[in-house]
Structure 1
Amino acid sequence: MIDLENQNFDPTITPKASSGNEGVPGLLVDGVFWYWPQSITEADIKERSVKKKIDKWLRRLVLAFSLFTLLSFILGIVLYFDLQILVLETWLTPNPFFSFLWVSVLSFCFLFYLNIVAKNSGHKMPKTNLAILGEPTYIPSVDAIERRRDIADLLRADAWEVLDEAFDIAKQSGHKYVTIIHLFLGALAVPSTQLMLTRLDLTFDAIKNPLRRKMSAMPLGETEFSTEVKEILAKALKNSLLNERSGISVVEIFIEAYGSSEFLKELLYSVDINEQEIKNVVDWIRIHEKLIARYNTFKKAAGFKPTGNMNRAYTAQQTKFLDSVSADLTREAVRGGLPMLIDRKTEMAQLLRAIEGGGQSVVLVGEAGVGKNTIISGLAELMVEEKVPKLLQDKRLIELSIPHIVSAEGGRGAHERLLYALQEVQMSGNIILVIDSIDQMVSVGGEALDLSSVLAGELEKGYTFVIATTSPREYTASIEGTMLGKQLQRINVLEPDKNSAILVLESKVGIIENKHRVVFTYDAVEALVDLTDRYVHEAFLPEKAILVAKEVALDVSKRGPEWAKVTRADVETIITQKTNIPISKVTAEEGAGLLQLEERIHERMIGQEDAVKAVSSALRRARTELRSNDRPIANFLFLGSTGVGKTELAKTTAEVYFGNEESMLRFDMSEYQDQASIERLIGGVDQAGLLTEAVRKNPFSLLLLDELEKAHPDILNLFLQVMDDGRLTDGTGRTVDFTNIILIATSNAGTQYIQDEVEKGTDTETIKEHLMEVELRGIYRPEFLNRFDGVMVFKPLSEPDVIAITYLMIDKVRAKLEAKGIKFTATDEAIYGLAKKGYDPKFGARPLRRVIQEQVDDAIANFLLTGQVGRRDTLVMDASGVISVEKAEEL
């Protein structure tokens, strides 16, 4: 029990007024008023506790006695093996060992009887039309109502534990009423709630102080149940009915207590737990219970459904060949071996309507991993439970394997084998056929074998019903408009929304947890869906979240103890490793680095303060999640003449944010000057686009568009869409995500104007304003320019800038030689000399790179090739630009 004694409650806090609702709260179900008429006493609690202990020990004693007598019988058989067990006279002859056997059998029967009694001790939940089920209501008195029932009859054992615990807490605290707070505390104290708290990563210590203060305001007196708690029980009954539960459990009481108290909502919100998280964790607990219950349900249903190929009326025909090239999904459902279907009510309703209509066969069209096959599994389970239209009752759901049909003899005879299988389907009369990836039937095998016409012909006769699956791309390319396509009714299966994907993942993690001996928190499950949806673009929900969950579980199991918690941070670690994008919370050390981005960038480039500042600010916004998630991270237009640092800033940005310069995708827009170039960028029906494919494979990159002004206007419209929506549709119809791209376009437009105005001393803002209003208007449309987060004017480099750049370039040469164990020094005069030779106001630093290659890199390469310089030696460049070797002392 949660200990709330001696908590130093503040007696000065004024108690809050009680609820204004008058009368008896309850729920009206089909004319029967369900309410809570009784009060709990300490004697009631002790009585239930004693009964529970007696029942527990009685079961143990009966089980032990049963095992003892059974073992005694076995021991007798072993010791007196000459007994003729298979002879009737042996069993009829009095023998003490046989007495042990009969006593053991009777004891097991008694134990079985106790379990049946316990299972059926409570009343069954009332049946009602859920669509017309109303809200709990208050009535002045129940005496005038003839049809009334006690909610206590519907409470499960763990619900009684909650009420007893809540009453005990209120009683020990001297409180007059058992309130929602006591009910909440009682739920926390019940062992079956501990898994819920683990999922929420919630401890009592995190919330105990506000609870102490809240309880100190409660009135004192003889303890009884408050009206609000009785209303909670009525709400819990409604919740149980809506969720088709077998009784009222701790789960319903917990969720209704939480939902009815603004204090509890704010309390849990203060520890980062919101209402949706509570609801999803409750659903998680229910899913776990359903997974256990449905196994028993299918086993029970299996007793009424034929386990072989024959229907109940014994009118079906044997299907020996079909059985060799297929799998029986209804049989798998009976064994509980199919995945649980979560949500998908719309798609299932469409599927059942199509089947019940008796018309066309059906094709489920959706991307890989969205749950097409799980919908079919859900149908198989409904068929086992006979919760399907009459047309599907007493039927088998058979999945035909196309690879098995075409694999024999290199595909020869595949038409005949398929036709024979379909004939068996028709003769059997109790089969619904499933064909996964039906597009495989079009041009399969090494000789472009086409089986679709065979299937289409049989479907046209109307004797065979097929449920098929395929992807949108394959449907368009192989099915739509064909003979086969005309026989199939399309049902789209879209990627589930995030909340549905969370529920699906919750149904899967149990197996992952047991395999790797870890426990997933809800934060981790939510992060798996959120982060894979945002950062993993080569797959679809829920499959991609499930795959990453397995990776995370494996990683945690290797690093931590057995049954370690899997948290959001663990998920972020794996996603970061897969994408090379920092997505965890910003640490103090990283925060300091982000604040000093300008300094880090200036370690690689000189000048251009405005551009460096704008880029740094964009990166800080992106890292702290303050940017819009439906656009690229940032869109920049760099204006200026060649060699002033536009490309260098782009490279530096790629290294700082994405980890290395290789994360930069570079496109020279001078190669895309005609309209036909669009297909090269986004692809066509038969080829992938250079741009879309590069971004699809590298979704976390810097996209550099060099000399943007040379691109065709229609291509500029493509990038207008990218900057606006963060996505682009390629030639095959796939949507490519650009929301994790930093887009930088460079342009030489207005270069002469920039140079002239800088020489005049005009400030940058004035230059930029004139460029936007005059110089660029003839090249770019205003709406295009307005999509850029920043238009940066790069000033021509001055002589001091070029000298500083020369020092940076020489430092790079020094670093390369140090890796070989060779030192390199250059005098200031040598640096100045190189800078003077490499300075050109028109071409910026471009000539400087060539000068250093010719006068420094070439000379050093000659020394290395001729063996004149080795480890520990020093290369010295003097004022005249000549490089000499200073040999190191001998060891």
Structure 2
Amino acid sequence: MNNFDPIVTGSIELAQTEAIKRKHNELTEYHLLWGLIKNPNTIASKQLKSEKKILIGLLDQLPTVGKISLSEIKPSPNLSEWFTLASSEAIQAGRDTINEADLLRNFTKYFPQLKVEIPEDQETEQPDFLINLNELAEKGKLDPVIGRATEIRRVQEILCRRTKNNPVLVGAPGVGKTAIIEGLAGLIQNNQVPDIILGKQIYTLNMGMLMAGTKYRGEFEEKMNALIRFIKGKGREAIIFIDEIHLIIGAGKTDGAMDAANLLKPALARGELNCIGATTLEEYKKYIETDSALERRFHQVLVSEPTKEDTIQILVGLKEKLEIHHGIEITEEAIVSAVYLSDQYISDRYLPDKAIDIIDEAAAGLKLSADSMPPDLAVLDSLIRSKKILINANPQNKVLKTEISELENQFNHDKKEWEGKVLELKKVAQIKQQLDKANFLLQKAETEGDFETASRLKYGDIPKMVETLETFDISWKLVRKNIGEVIARATGVPVERVLRTQQQNLLELEAYLNRHVLGQTEAIAEISDTLIAAHAGLTDQSRPLGSFLIMGPSGVGKTETAKVLSRFLFGDEKHLFRIDLSEYSERHAVAKLIGAPPGYVGYEKGGILTEAIRRNPYSIILFDEIEKAHPDFSDILLQIIDDGRLTDAQGRVVNFKNCVIMATSNLKDHEIFFKNEMIGRLDAVLYFNHLNNEIIHQLIERELELLNEKLQDRELQIQLNKQFYERILQSGFDLKYGARPLKNAFNRMLIKPLSKLILKEPDLKGALMLNLNQDNLLDVKRIDS
């Protein structure tokens, strides 16, 4: 490693300049010392300035050559060795760059007649893999921490203990564990902590940088020892914060070497190292609890997910920094929508992290729209370009020239207006940035007792900035619609569905289902009422939105109901997850739904059912032909409909509370096959009726209506005479198979012959009456309009 810090780099450049000046083709330890003494920023320049004469004598003894360039100068063996030793010192100190202190630690080996002392602050220089949170707090680079006073106080209490004063924050990802420690650093910096913690510095440990460049045995141990030496050098002032603390288990462990956890244990036991950790509950159980010697040195602090109300307060606190970064205005409705919609639609992540991400992404999208040319301007620009191409072909067209001139005037006017708004937005962002800095300086001045500065800022500068901001009318504001668009992209639920209220949406459900699933009024009413009650919050919110067993003969609309429900709730059938249970008649096949057990092929892939719902938590799950499944399947279904969740083979909990569960069966009586415990947990057992002639007539009418919609582009409209209608009815209806054969009959008797007719007579237009003659050929008659 020959990476030098700026001071050493400058000294080497001075040494090279001296070597060229003296016509030396080899850069020696004498040249380097000359460079260190000549550099006013070095320790050597202060302590060895009087030794210049000795050094000049040593340089004069070196052999000279003719004219020489920089590229011809090579380091001497002694200098190369010195750099190697300095590199080892830097690695031991946990740094990637060589500084002057690293060179001076081996100084006497090359200059025994000279003496230099390294200042104490240089001996305990901060390693590169540590970041001082107090310094970041002092510079105002940390986000404000809101609503975590209880957890911060709990951490302070543990830090004030005489023994076991090492807290570990345990909580789900994204609930704000790291933010709590950043908040503590801010309180320490503002002197708002007990005396025992006052003056302490919190350093966050970057595990990636700690592990970097430690491929050879012993290098990792050197870095860990450098960490412990640094902490010892700071006395009791340093606190190390290890985010994802479970990573220290096994970190740096190679053949015969110890991992980071075992290297830290002695320092923790002796009280030489004050440490704060953060990890998730699962990883704490898996890694920390299994190592009792490590666990007993920490005290657990549980960090729960904040409530929606607390999350709103957190976002209000972050609002100003987000506005400064993106240069837009974030409305209160956007904040409230981000919290409630993310909580409703994103179930595999936690507040406040998911709400902050939604706001951040929506603001980034709005900022991009603000900086990009508006769509109407882009269309206008494209229109002008196309008309200019036409005018080149016909230069004498005065009408076209006038049109182009008018369009260009409109484009220039609109573009100037848009550019003015963009410029205004940048000015607002600049003023907000200055205001944020002024507020930070005000807080700092009040803490330090600088009342003159505080008074100037509070009653002079800040009110002026606020007054200036009020004169601007910002066009780009983050609103509920922007939040809905981000949620829609993340979940696949159409934005219209996300933004509509559930009451407005669901009150139309029964009528919508009855329009598309004919003849099953009672069953559809039961489905609609159940889903309305679930969305109104009057049922158990941990269970699925609805769970139904639909029984009835084939072809009466059981599967179609699930498809139509998916289209209504989510806009398409992509959210319908259908499982044909005839494929799960064996016990080993049922295991595929939640994943193969550990040690079996396919374990890492997860379960077919659980993975589908993890990726798409808003789904209609259709278990088709449930009576054909192995009896073990009922245990899985019971867990889903009763608890609303399922644990897969890898121990991950999958939530089904936003799903609708529909199971179908062709059996006539549910008591013959299904257990009472399962029937009792379902929301409803529904019986679909046989279809009669009237329903089949309606189905034919609907198919005909769909066909006429497709023929609109050809300016065609068709009708069927009574005989043709009856023939389709007779061929398409079977009491045993319901309406299933109707589609085939419609395709065979109408669609295929009509396709041939259209290709044969491409100019065929108007209203037509169709009949099928005895030879199964279409007989076409025009209907007089």
Relative to the length of structure 1, the TM-score reads: 0.53
Aligned residues of 1:517 and 1:563 also touching (Cα < 8 A): no
Aligned residues of 2:610 and 2:654 also touching (Cα < 8 A): yes
1:882 and 1:676, CA in 2 relative to 1: closer, same or farther beyond 3 A? same
Aligned residues of 1:830 and 1:880 also touching (Cα < 8 A): no
1:739 and 2:653 correspond? no
Per the alignment, residue 334 of structure 1 pairs with 138
State the number of aligned residues.
Answer: 544
Aligned residues of 1:527 and 1:571 also touching (Cα < 8 A): yes
1:452 and 1:520 map into 2 onto residues whose CA distance is: 51
1:565 and 1:468 map into 2 onto residues whose CA distance is: 39
> 1:310-329 residue pairs with structure 2 within 5 A?
318-320=123-125, 322-329=126-133
2:134 and 2:678 map into 1 onto residues whose CA distance is: 57
Aligned residues of 2:250 and 2:261 also touching (Cα < 8 A): no
Aligned residues of 1:365 and 1:472 also touching (Cα < 8 A): yes
1:477 and 1:610, CA in 2 relative to 1: closer, same or farther beyond 3 A? same
> 1:126-525 residue pairs with structure 2 within 5 A?
318-320=123-125, 322-355=126-159, 356-359=161-164, 361-388=166-193, 392-408=197-213, 415-416=220-221, 418-428=223-233, 429=235, 430-441=237-248, 453-462=259-268, 463-482=272-291, 486=295, 488-515=298-325, 522=332, 524-525=334-335
2:293 and 2:714 map into 1 onto residues whose CA distance is: 67
Deviations 1:316-335 (A, max 9, x none): 77444x53222111211222
Per the alignment, residue 626 of structure 2 pairs with 708
Supply the AA of the counterpart residue of 1:781: K
SS of residue in 1 equivalent to 2:277: strand
Which residues of structure 1 form unaligned runs of 5+?
A: 1-313, 751-774
1:496 and 1:456, CA in 2 relative to 1: closer, same or farther beyond 3 A? farther
Aligned residues of 1:496 and 1:542 also touching (Cα < 8 A): yes
1:516 and 1:427, CA in 2 relative to 1: closer, same or farther beyond 3 A? closer
1:816 and 1:404, CA in 2 relative to 1: closer, same or farther beyond 3 A? farther
Deviations 1:275-319 (A, max 9, x none): xxxxxxxxxxxxxxxxxxxxxxxxxxxxxxxxxxxxxxx977744
SS of residue in 2 equivalent to 1:786: helix
Relative to the length of structure 2, the TM-score reads: 0.60
Task: Please report how far the alpha carbon of residue 798 of structure 1 lies from its aligned counterpart in structure 2 after TM superposition.
Answer: 2.6
The structure 1 residue matched to 2:573, chosen from 647, 657, 661, is 661
2:779 and 2:294 map into 1 onto residues whose CA distance is: 78
Task: Please report how far the alpha carbon of residue 655 of structure 1 lies from its aligned counterpart in structure 2 after TM superposition.
Answer: 0.9
1:644 and 2:556 correspond? yes
Deviations 1:784-833 (A, max 9, x none): 32333332211122344334334434544554565688776655433432
1:671 and 2:475 correspond? no
SS of residue in 2 equivalent to 1:466: strand
Task: Please report how far the alpha carbon of residue 777 of structure 1 lies from its aligned counterpart in structure 2 after TM superposition.
Answer: 2.9
Aligned residues of 1:727 and 1:736 also touching (Cα < 8 A): yes
1:797 and 1:472 map into 2 onto residues whose CA distance is: 55
1:674 and 1:776 map into 2 onto residues whose CA distance is: 21
Per the alignment, residue 96 of structure 2 pairs with none
Task: Please report how far the alpha carbon of residue 651 of structure 1 lies from its aligned counterpart in structure 2 after TM superposition.
Answer: 0.8
SS of residue in 2 equivalent to 1:398: strand
Aligned residues of 1:519 and 1:566 also touching (Cα < 8 A): yes
Aligned residues of 2:733 and 2:739 also touching (Cα < 8 A): yes
Per the alignment, residue 611 of structure 1 pairs with 523
1:610 and 1:873 map into 2 onto residues whose CA distance is: 43
Aligned residues of 1:638 and 1:744 also touching (Cα < 8 A): yes
1:617 and 1:506 map into 2 onto residues whose CA distance is: 38
Greater shift in the superposed pair: 787-796 or 682-691: 682-691
2:775 and 2:348 map into 1 onto residues whose CA distance is: 54
1:388 and 1:871, CA in 2 relative to 1: closer, same or farther beyond 3 A? farther
The structure 1 residue matched to 2:544, chosen from 628, 632, 655, is 632
1:849 and 2:743 correspond? yes
Deviations 1:489-531 (A, max 9, x none): 4433221222322222221112223455665565553443233
> 1:490-569 residue pairs with structure 2 within 5 A?
490-515=300-325, 522=332, 524-553=334-363, 562=474
Aligned residues of 1:459 and 1:465 also touching (Cα < 8 A): no
Deviations 1:161-220 (A, max 9, x none): xxxxxxxxxxxxxxxxxxxxxxxxxxxxxxxxxxxxxxxxxxxxxxxxxxxxxxxxxxxx
Supply the AA of the counterpart residue of 1:649: T
Supply the AA of the counterpart residue of 2:641: M
1:697 and 1:646 map into 2 onto residues whose CA distance is: 26
Supply the AA of the counterpart residue of 1:342: I
Identity of aligned residues (%): 29
Task: Please report how far the alpha carbon of residue 704 of structure 1 lies from its aligned counterpart in structure 2 after TM superposition.
Answer: 1.3
Which residues of structure 2 form unaligned runs of 5+?
A: 1-118, 371-420, 422-472
Aligned residues of 1:822 and 1:870 also touching (Cα < 8 A): no
The structure 1 residue matched to 2:667, chosen from 749, 756, 761, is 749
Aligned residues of 2:250 and 2:259 also touching (Cα < 8 A): no
Supply the AA of the counterpart residue of 2:312: I
Aligned residues of 2:245 and 2:278 also touching (Cα < 8 A): yes
1:836 and 2:730 correspond? yes
Task: Please report how far the alpha carbon of residue 376 of structure 1 lies from its aligned counterpart in structure 2 after TM superposition.
Answer: 1.3
Supply the AA of the counterpart residue of 1:472: L
Supply the AA of the counterpart residue of 1:709: E
